[in-house]
Amino acid sequence: MPDLTTTYLGLKLPSPIIVGSSGLTDKPEKIALLEKYGAGAVVLKSIFEEEILMEYEHVLSEEAPSRYKDDYLDYFDYRIKQTNIDNYLNLIIQARKTVKIPVIASINCSTSHEWTYFAKKIQEAGADALELNIFILPSVLARSAENIEQTYLEIIQSVRNEIKIPLAVKMSYYFSNLAGMIAELSHCNIAGLVLFNRSYSPDIDIDKLEITSANVFSSPRDLPVSLRWIAIMSNRVKCDLAASTGVHDGKAVVKQILAGANAVQVVSALYEKGPEYLETMVKELSDWMKSKKYGKIDEFRGLLSQERQVNPALFERVQFMKYFSDRDKIKA
């Protein structure tokens, strides 16, 4: 029987398959099921900076008398933040009591204003590690690329200075020099990088003339984006790499590890097929390892990374020259 144990963020995982931050990880009993079905670790459902700010605005408009609204600002700000923080810390405490696998807390943020204090509380509650899910859409014309990059660095530094538990950063691929940014972040005394976070995507209903959401779940077609960059950056960063988005079966897990991932996050597949599908993914990984006579994960990790290829350009090609030229010949 192959040994599926691996190390991620300095933590020992019974398998490289991590259930990512989602509604699947918002209650201790759900997390216990994920452990039963073979999860190597869980990332708790994120606490959102944006969500707290929206709740603050709602409560302020509903509860604060208009004549004295300014007098209520500090009170509501404290009450809402404290309630959200207390609930989240309790989730960490209960999850740690319920399971043996690593419990990774998650903060979804776009500024560094409040998270230093909160990160320390997460550490005190017993989280094994913290994942900062940072996403800043480069949609403000007046905001430079340098400014966005600096915001990432400020958030990481402010949190890193306050905690001793491992810190991972889940980032987007919206950077003009993505390889350079990944490398720079890896030098910020963090334990891991997760490539990549999945953002909300808008759509348009042409009948109702409304803005709607699109592509709530990922699909296997999304896999190549993270696969490319895991392979390119493997052994070129100063931290672990975890792959995220588009992982829908055990074969995708194998691919990401071959590319160089230390761990692989999965969410959408479990929403679509149920948490018990983890067993199938773990079995697919184990069966493949047996078929190739691999006894441990480290025996094939990074085997097909860019660094180990005779032709490294295989991961850098961005044009479909051969594909379309072959199709044109067939049509002719």
In order of their start, the domains of the chain are 6-305 (3.20.20.70)
Q: Tell me if 206 sits within 8 A of 176, measured CB to CB.
A: no
Task: List for the chain the helix, strand, coil content (%; round to 5).
Answer: 50, 15, 35
Three-state DSSP class for 23? helix
Q: pLDDT per residue over 189-233, tens digit each?
A: 999 999 999 877 889 999 999 999 888 899 999 999 999 999 999
Q: pLDDT per residue over 234-268, tens digit each?
A: 999 999 999 999 999 999 999 999 999 999 999 99
Q: pLDDT per residue over 120-173, tens digit each?
A: 889 999 999 999 999 888 888 888 999 999 999 999 999 999 899 999 999 999
CA–centroid distance for 262 within its chain: 13
Is the pLDDT at 60 greater than 70? The verdict is no
Rounded distance, CA 94 to CA 90, Å? 6
Is the pLDDT at 180 greater than 70? The verdict is yes
58 vs 16 pLDDT, higher one: 16
Q: pLDDT per residue over 286-328, tens digit each?
A: 999 999 999 999 999 999 999 998 787 777 766 655 555 555 5
H helical segments located in 137-177: 145-160
Lowest-pLDDT range of 107-111, 223-227, 281-285: 107-111
pLDDT at position 216: 82
Q: Tell me if 41 sits within 8 A of 102, measured CB to CB.
A: yes
pLDDT at position 303: 97
In degrees and rounded to multiples of 5, residue 99 shows phi and psi of -125, 165
pLDDT at position 321: 56
Rounded distance, CA 251 to CA 292, Å? 13
Q: What is the pTM of this model?
A: 0.86
Q: Closest Cα to residue 11, out of 105, 88, 125?
A: 105
Q: In this prediction, what percent of the chain has a pLDDT beyond 90? A: 69
pLDDT at position 126: 97
Rounded distance, CA 324 to CA 46, Å? 42
Q: Tell me if 76 sits within 8 A of 64, measured CB to CB.
A: yes
Q: Tell me if 125 sits within 8 A of 93, measured CB to CB.
A: yes
114 CB contacts (<8 Å, ≥6 apart)?
Answer: 49, 81
